[in-house]
Structure 1
Amino acid sequence: MSARLLLFTGKGGVGKTTLAAATSAALAAGGRKALVVSTDPAHSLGDAFGIALGSAVTEVDAGLHAAQVDPRALVDETWRELRGHLRTVLAGAGVDELDAEELTVLPGVEELLALAEVRRLVHGGPWDVVVVDCGPTAETLRLLALPEAVSSYLERLFPTHRRVVRGLLAGLAGNGSSAERWDATADALGRLAENLAQLRGLLTSPSTGVRLVLTPERVVAAETRRTVTALALQGIRVDGVVVNRLVPHPGAESGPAATWLRTRRTEQEAVLASLDLGPMRTVEHRAGEPVGLPALLELADDLYRGADPLDGVGAGAPLIDVVRVDDEYELRLALVVGDSELDLARVGDDLAVTVDGRRKLITLPSLLRRCLVVGAELDDTGLAVRFRPDPDLWMR
């Protein structure tokens, strides 16, 4: 049975690593086998626990293990073979050796392999939950988009990988030994495509959740709203928002320090009131840095207040759904658009949704391919695109 997967991300410096570590500690203290891994190049997960961590899984406490993924080592171990296969393909197709070398430098391969390592840990270990300390928001969005992006890249280079490529390359080879090399290349491409599909399935699974960490500042809140939308476009669920470093309320205290705290707290609460991003937990700013298990467990008590840290994972309506309304159909997307710029376009059998320059092609189900787009509406639940059967196509 696969482990549950919980991803923590947020703008750099908001405390996501500490909160990921605290959550994993709370899960283990509650009797679950928990593994927390970091894909953040900063590698500060070990600092949160106050111990040295490497790429090997290390026991931190009973039921709690941790590791820091080393993408460079994964590239050296895993990517070299496939890269050699791709150079063979390109050289056989008449591409110059130097050009072939450049074309096989795949952007994002380190992050992609880091994500593949997370998948291996989710499916290959005894864990009930795998908590991932991701990099800052921009890097995380790029990371989580990679399986789909690389799949598209491969499909353009080598359409219908196994069947078409194998036949094409075997024809180019012309002799037995070369044909064997082409077959090995086709097999490698097929395995990569399959792994990408499995990664995509893992990220969009109901057993996967994303926790967005932010500090109550307007700039950070604006980025968080954009992140929720960007993840929804990829079909990835955000099951909760954690607001970190909320300054303590001074109560009835007086004096300059109390006045400052009261003013700052009022500003922060105004930011929280404007968020409207679903389930939200808050953590007050601490005087001391939470380092080590006791401090992390204390932080987790403040964060979850007795609730299960996994509450909300997989909850909520589908991110993309189709419903019938009278004589029309609605394609509903759970997007938090806010003040973002939204653009819709029909591109063949796809619906192109662009939010703040980030574009997503949504392949329409066969039912909607035979329909015309007649309108779109935004409300608190997201975007609803209305379709009406095309009389020229409906009976075909």
Structure 2
Amino acid sequence: MHRVLVTGLGGAGRTTVAAASALAAASAGRRTLLLSAGTHPVPGVPAGGTPGSPTAVADGLWAARVDTAADFRAEFLDLQDRVSAALDLLGATPFEDEELTELPGSTEFALLRALAGASRGEWDVVVADMPPLDETVALLALPERLRRYLRRLLPPERQAARALRPVLAQLAGVPMPAQWLYETAGRWDTALADVQAAVEDPGTRLTVVAEPGPAAAERLRAARPGLGLFGHAVHAVVANRVVPGDSPDPWAAALAAQQAECLKEWRGAWPPAAVVGALPHLGRDPRDLADLARLAGEPVLAPPAGAGARRGPADPVHGDDGTLVWHLPLPDAVKEEVSLVRRGDELLVTAGPFRRILPLPPVLRRCTVAGAGLADGTLSVRFAPDPGLWPRTR
């Protein structure tokens, strides 16, 4: 299965490109599902329908709008039911289904859960209309981060001592976590693991949409370190709403020249990992399947073929000076905005506004950080073996 996550800059036409990408995959003979969240209309997709249920759009193409409100209510009420005993002791009044409204962030995470659920279906391609680029980078990192928090706050190995909790509570003088807490944490970890597996699968690719110009070019440059740091594979960079270059109108000709210059920069920066292509400006906003079909025929929207590769950290390699070198991809990162902090068996890497905590490979846990350097879009961290942790050789 292939998953195409369509993101990009705000107002660049992500929803249209997502719908056209789904139509392109269906036209290639692949059973395709288009996922979207929110209430905004999707070109070519009939309004109405049952939220969460796929609706046939064209031959081989179905569309489903994630019922984010129902997803939030179900999760909240399930948690409330699990802690009902504690709430009764506190005298709390439980919420009813009809009085619950969504909280910020619930829409995006419901979309990720729907993506994981669709991955278990009989689809060849799932196309998801994602939030803007910066929000998507943070959203795709959320499952990994939340699972780390759960493991730190409620270590799974502590569950082995659940039979001793009454004794431990008396010895420590504090109440021990109840069984329902570990069960809830375990259920959340399983759900997060499903989402993380879908995000990190080699069959998951990003399509990045932007309307070419100086401001868009700068914003994509700023986002590339985050894409590299979290290992997100970009399949295509779509320059949307490109105007013809042969217009006699001086204003249109100047805009076309500016867009062409931006496209030249992107074609020099993104390949070979990503395809860079342009979609023409239709002279109006796309409205129906006929408009989508005009865009779906462009090569840049061709569905991915074969398995992709995660662009996360590679395995450590031996350096010329006896050190071990760990290479981390950070395209377009600025040296002054990159920092490293070693904390136990983890490495905290910051690149501009992006931060990731990476668990060290086992071999590096017995080493100390000996230095780091940034060159050609790669951060190389050198590790020296710690004599106190490495066995001595004769």
* TM-score > 0.5 by shorter chain: yes
Calculate the TM-score normalised by the size of structure 1: 0.82
Q: Quick one: distance in 2 between partners of 1:226 and 1:91?
A: 50
Within 5 Å, which residues of 2 pair with 1:68-87? 68-86=65-83
Within 5 Å, which residues of 2 pair with 1:306-321? 308-311=302-305, 314-315=308-309, 318-321=312-315
In the alignment, which residue of structure 2 is the partner of 1:178? none
- CA distance 1:36–1:245, change in 2 (3 Å): same
Q: Quick one: distance in 2 between partners of 1:316 and 1:76?
A: 34
In the alignment, which residue of structure 1 is the partner of 2:99? none
Counterpart of 1:268 in 2: which secondary structure?
helix
Could you tell me which amino acid in structure 2 is paired with residue 74 of structure 1? D
Counterpart of 1:67 in 2: which secondary structure?
strand
Percent identity, aligned pairs only, is 35
1:166/1:186 contact within 8 Å kept: no
Match of 2:138 among 125, 138, 142: 142
Cα drift, residue 288 of structure 1: 3.1
Please report the RMSD computed on the Cα atoms of aligned residues, expressed in angstroms: 3.3
Task: Give the number of aligned pairs.
Answer: 372
In the alignment, which residue of structure 2 is the partner of 1:21? 19
In the alignment, which residue of structure 1 is the partner of 2:365? 369
Cα drift, residue 128 of structure 1: 0.5
Match of 1:55 among 52, 56, 62: 52
In the alignment, which residue of structure 1 is the partner of 2:332? 337
Counterpart of 1:145 in 2: which secondary structure?
helix
- CA distance 1:91–1:366, change in 2 (3 Å): farther
- CA distance 1:75–1:244, change in 2 (3 Å): same
Cα drift, residue 323 of structure 1: 2.2
Q: Quick one: distance in 2 between partners of 1:156 and 1:89?
A: 23
Gaps of 5+ in 2: 96-101, 171-176
Counterpart of 1:75 in 2: which secondary structure?
helix
Could you tell me which amino acid in structure 1 is paired with residue 331 of structure 2? V
Q: String of CA shifts for 1:62-94, please: whole Å, max 9, x gaps.
A: 2110011121111112331124435656998xx
Within 5 Å, which residues of 2 pair with 1:1-396? 3-39=1-37, 41-45=38-42, 47-53=43-49, 54-86=51-83, 108-123=105-120, 125-160=121-156, 163=159, 166-167=162-163, 182-250=178-246, 254=248, 257=249, 259-275=250-266, 276-278=269-271, 279=274, 280-304=276-300, 308-311=302-305, 314-315=308-309, 318-326=312-320, 327-339=322-334, 341-395=337-391
Cα drift, residue 262 of structure 1: 2.4
Q: Quick one: distance in 1 between partners of 2:70 and 2:156?
A: 30
Could you tell me which amino acid in structure 2 is paired with residue 242 of structure 1? V
Q: Quick one: distance in 1 between partners of 2:281 and 2:325?
A: 44
Could you tell me which amino acid in structure 2 is paired with residue 55 of structure 1? G
Q: String of CA shifts for 1:172-207, please: whole Å, max 9, x gaps.
A: 999xxxxxx954543332121112122112111111
- CA distance 1:85–1:298, change in 2 (3 Å): same
- CA distance 1:157–1:198, change in 2 (3 Å): same
Could you tell me which amino acid in structure 1 is paired with residue 6 of structure 2? F
Counterpart of 2:347 in 1: which secondary structure?
strand
Could you tell me which amino acid in structure 2 is paired with residue 334 of structure 1? P
Cα drift, residue 10 of structure 1: 1.1
1:7/1:209 contact within 8 Å kept: yes
Q: String of CA shifts for 1:294-315, please: whole Å, max 9, x gaps.
A: 22121011243xx842148614
Cα drift, residue 7 of structure 1: 0.3
- CA distance 1:368–1:156, change in 2 (3 Å): closer
Q: Which moved more, 1:126-135 or 1:49-58?
A: 49-58
Counterpart of 1:49 in 2: which secondary structure?
coil
Q: String of CA shifts for 1:243-266, please: whole Å, max 9, x gaps.
A: 11122111xx64xx1x22222222
